[in-house]
Structure 1
Amino acid sequence: MIYIQLLLSFIQIGLFSFGGGYASLPFIQNQVVTKHHWLTMKEFADIITISQTTPGPIAINAATFVGINVAGIKGAIVATIGCVLPSIIIILFLSILYYKYRGLSFMDGILYGLRPTVIALIAISGFSLLQASVLPNSSNTHILQNLDYVSIVLIVGALYILRKYKTNPIYIMLGAGIIRLGLYFI
Structure 2
Amino acid sequence: MPNTELVISFLKIGAFSFGGGYTMIPFIQKEIIYRHQWIPLNDFIDIVGIAEITPGPIAINSSTFVGYRIGGVIGSLLSTVSVVLVPFLLVMMLAPFFLKIKGSPAVRRAFKGIRPAIIGLIASAAITLGKAAMIDIKSMIICIVVFVMVYRVKFHPVFGIIAAGMLGVILY
- Answering whether residue 16 of structure 2 is matched by residue 16 of structure 1, we say yes
Question: 1:1-186 maps to which residues of 2 (within 5 A)?
Answer: 2-135=2-135, 148-184=136-172
Deviation string 1:43-80 (CA, Å, 9 cap, x unpaired) is 01111111111111111101100111111111000000
Percent identity, aligned pairs only? 35
Offset of residue 103 of structure 1: 4.2
Instruction: Name stretches of at least 5 consecutive residues in structure 2 with no aligned partner.
Output: none
Offset of residue 106 of structure 1: 1.7
In the alignment, the residues of structure 2 paired with residue 104 and residue 166 of structure 1 have an alpha-carbon distance, to the nearest angstrom, of 36
Q: How many residues are treated as equivalent by the alignment?
A: 172
Offset of residue 101 of structure 1: 2.9
| Secondary structure class of the residue paired with 1:88 | helix
In the alignment, the residues of structure 1 paired with residue 123 and residue 152 of structure 2 have an alpha-carbon distance, to the nearest angstrom, of 22
Flag the structure with larger Rg.
1
In the alignment, the residues of structure 1 paired with residue 148 and residue 104 of structure 2 have an alpha-carbon distance, to the nearest angstrom, of 43
Corresponding residue for 1:138? none
In the alignment, the residues of structure 1 paired with residue 6 and residue 15 of structure 2 have an alpha-carbon distance, to the nearest angstrom, of 14
What code does the residue aligned with 2:167 have? I
The root-mean-square deviation of aligned C-alpha atoms, in Å, is 1.4
